[in-house]
Structure 1
Amino acid sequence: MKRTILLAGVAVVSGCVSAEQLDKIYGSQTTPTAAERAAAVAYIKTTFYDPYSIRDASISNALTLLDTGYRSICVRFNAKNRMGGYVGMTSTSLRFQGAAVVSSLQDAPGCNTARLTYSSFPELENL
């Protein structure tokens, strides 16, 4: 029987994700491309409530999700909610196919691991 396991906010279908597979996924980290960074900004601008209030933004390295053809990038930031208050740091996983965002998952558990490397994301703070 196959199980769906969430990793960096992306469903990976397999019988079981072993420690070796996790090592392979986290070992595949590469710096996001300029096209992926631009697609992340465009996606957040069109789907988040108040993207212009974003501060303290950071972006993770991109992970290759086994043999699925997808890449995953996590974005962390602090932004205002619908009531106008800052909610604290949240993480969102963006799943890419090529340079296009195809889905996202807010508060993705795989975004909060020490194995994932983050860097500043000024493009998102300067909307």
Structure 2
Amino acid sequence: MKRLTIVAAALALAGCTTSAEQIDKQIAGQQPPSAALRQKIVEAARTELKDPYSVRDATISSYIPAPGKPNTGFVCVRYNAKNGFGGYTGLSTVGTNVINGELRGLFQNPYQCTLASLHWYPLPEAKQLQNL
């Protein structure tokens, strides 16, 4: 029984190493977000946020390409905006899949956005939201 436990623990640790290596490989391939991707994020904010006029402190992460899947990746956005009650909520983080240049899904606080090696950039395009 003791041997079985040791083998199971070793397999579990091996799986963690593989996942960590895959994540490191993906992050190593990160690229600055394109102008088109930045614009797609601003367009999505217009429809997804309660008060898009109020967006401030917006930043966007690098584009993280998906391994083995061309034209597929992930990007994160941090922003502060007013909620439905008119108060600022503090920084929120969302992530989205990018497939063939289109945003697919919206994820609150995904783990990819917490990685220390992920690069972040200002998103001055968010000021366009004030001119709706």
Q: TM-score, normalising length from structure 1?
A: 0.81
Letter in 1 for 2:30: Q
SS of 1:81's equivalent? coil
In 2, the alpha carbon distance for the partners of 1:78 and 1:61 equals: 19
SS of 1:18's equivalent? helix
Matched with 1:73 is 75
Matched with 1:101 is 103
Letter in 2 for 1:102: R
Matched with 1:10 is none
Name structure 2 gaps, 5 residues minimum: 1-14
Matched with 1:88 is 90
Deviating 4+ runs (over 4 angstroms): none
**Retained in 2: the 8 A contact 1:73–1:94?**
yes
In 2, the alpha carbon distance for the partners of 1:28 and 1:18 equals: 16
SS of 1:126's equivalent? helix
The RMSD of aligned alpha carbons is: 1.6
In 2, the alpha carbon distance for the partners of 1:117 and 1:36 equals: 16
Name structure 1 gaps, 5 residues minimum: 1-14
Q: Give the number of the structure whose alpha-carbon radius of gyration is greater.
A: 2
1:124 counterpart (113, 123, 126): 126
Which structure has more RCO (C-alpha within 8 Å, separation ≥ 6)? 1
Higher-helix-fraction structure: 2
Higher-strand-fraction structure: 1
Q: TM-score, normalising length from structure 2?
A: 0.78
In 1, the alpha carbon distance for the partners of 2:87 and 2:76 equals: 23
Q: CA deviation at 1:20?
A: 1.5
Matched with 1:42 is 43
User: How many pairs were matched up?
Assistant: 113
